[in-house]
Amino acid sequence: MTNLTLTPALALGDDALVLSHRLGEWAGNAPVLEEEVALANIALDLLGQARILLSLAGDEDELAYLREERQFRNLQLVEQPNGDFAHTIARQLYFSVYQQLLFDHLATGGTELAPLAAKAVKETSYHRDHAEQWTLRLGDGTDESHTRMQRGLDALWRFTGELFEPVDGLDAPWAALHDEWTTRITALLERATLTLPQGPQRGAWTAGGGRQGLHTEPFGRMLAEMQHLHRSHPGASW
Amino acid sequence: MTTIAPEEPALEAVFDATVAADERIEPRDWMPDAYRSTLVRQIAQHAHSEIIGMQPEANWITRAPSLRRKAILMAKVQDEAGHGLYLYSAAETLGTSRDELLDKLHTGRQKYSSIFNYPTLTWADVGAIGWLVDGAAITNQVPLCRCSYGPYARAMVRICKEESFHQRQGYELLMALSRGTEAQHAMAQDAVNRWWWPSLMMFGPPDDESAHSAQSMAWKIKRHSNDELRQRFVDICVPQAEALGLTLPDPDLTWNEERGHFDFGPIDWAEFWDVLKGNGPCNEQRISRRRRAHEDGAWVREAAAAHAAKHGKADR
Quick: pLDDT tens for A25-47: 999 999 999 999 999 999 999 99
Residue B279 burial (CB count, 10 A): 12
Q: Kindly report, residue by residue over B21-43, the tens digit of the pLDDT.
A: 999 999 999 999 999 999 999 99
Q: Do the Cβ atoms of B202 and B46 come closer than 8 Å?
A: no
Task: Determine which helix (DSSP H) or strand (DSSP E) holds B300, and give its type and residue range.
Answer: helix B298-311
Find the residue in A nearest to B62 (Cα). A226
Triad A113, A115, A118: Cα angle to 5°: 105
Residue A122 C-alpha from the chain's centroid: 16
Q: Do A225 and B63 touch (CB under 8 A)?
A: yes
As a whole-number percent, the residues of chain B with pLDDT over 70 amount to 97
The whole-angstrom separation of Cα A92 and Cα B297 is 18
The whole-angstrom separation of Cα B292 and Cα A225 is 23
- Tell whether the model's pLDDT for residue A3 goes beyond 50: no
- Tell whether the model's pLDDT for residue B2 goes beyond 80: no
* Architecture category of domain B9-312 in CATH: Up-down Bundle (1.20)
Q: Do the Cβ atoms of B230 and B203 come closer than 8 Å?
A: yes
Q: Do the Cβ atoms of B167 and B134 come closer than 8 Å?
A: yes
Q: Do B58 and A27 touch (CB under 8 A)?
A: yes
Interface test with B, best of A52, A135, A142 (most B CBs within 10 A): A142
Q: Which domains occur in chain A, in start order? A: 8-232 (1.20.1260.10)
B182 contacts: CB under 8 Å, gap ≥ 6: none
Q: Kindly report, residue by residue over A155-175, the tens digit of the pLDDT.
A: 999 999 999 998 888 999 999
- Tell whether the model's pLDDT for residue B316 goes beyond 80: no
Of B66, B98, B306, the CB nearest to A61: B66
Q: Whole-prediction pTM value?
A: 0.95
The whole-angstrom separation of Cα A105 and Cα A124 is 13
Report the gap between the CA of B242 and the closest CA in chain A (Å): 20
**CB < 8 Å from A in window 57-76 of B:** 58, 61-71, 74-75
Interface test with B, best of A145, A148, A194 (most B CBs within 10 A): A145
Q: Kindly report, residue by residue over A140-150, the tens digit of the pLDDT.
A: 999 999 999 99
> Any bridge partners for residue A204, and if so which?
none
Name the percent of chain B in helix, strand, coil, to the closest 5.
70, 5, 30
Q: Do B70 and A36 touch (CB under 8 A)?
A: no
Q: Do the Cβ atoms of B125 and B191 come closer than 8 Å?
A: yes
Question: Is B77 in CB contact (< 8 Å) with chain A?
Answer: yes
Ramachandran angles phi, psi of A235, nearest 5°: 80, -5
Chain B residues with CB-CB distance to A32 below 8 A: 297, 300-301, 304
Q: Kindly report, residue by residue over A173-223, the tens digit of the pLDDT.
A: 999 999 999 999 999 999 999 999 998 888 766 656 899 899 999 999 999
Domain ranges in chain B? 9-312
Quote the pLDDT of residue B210: 77
Q: Kindly report, residue by residue over A60-79, the tens digit of the pLDDT.
A: 999 999 999 999 999 999 99
Question: Model confidence at B8, in pLDDT bands (50, 70, 90)?
Answer: confident
A40 contacts: CB under 8 Å, gap ≥ 6: A23, A24, A26, A27, B74, B75, B77, B78, B81
**CB < 8 Å from B in window 1-60 of A:** 17, 21, 24-25, 27-37, 40-41, 43-44, 47-48, 50-51, 54, 60
ipTM for the complex?
Answer: 0.96
The whole-angstrom separation of Cα B285 and Cα B133 is 20
Quote the pLDDT of residue B5: 64
Triad A16, A22, A27: Cα angle to 5°: 120
Of B66, B298, B304, the CB nearest to A137: B304
> Looking at per-residue confidence, does A192 or B5 come out higher?
A192
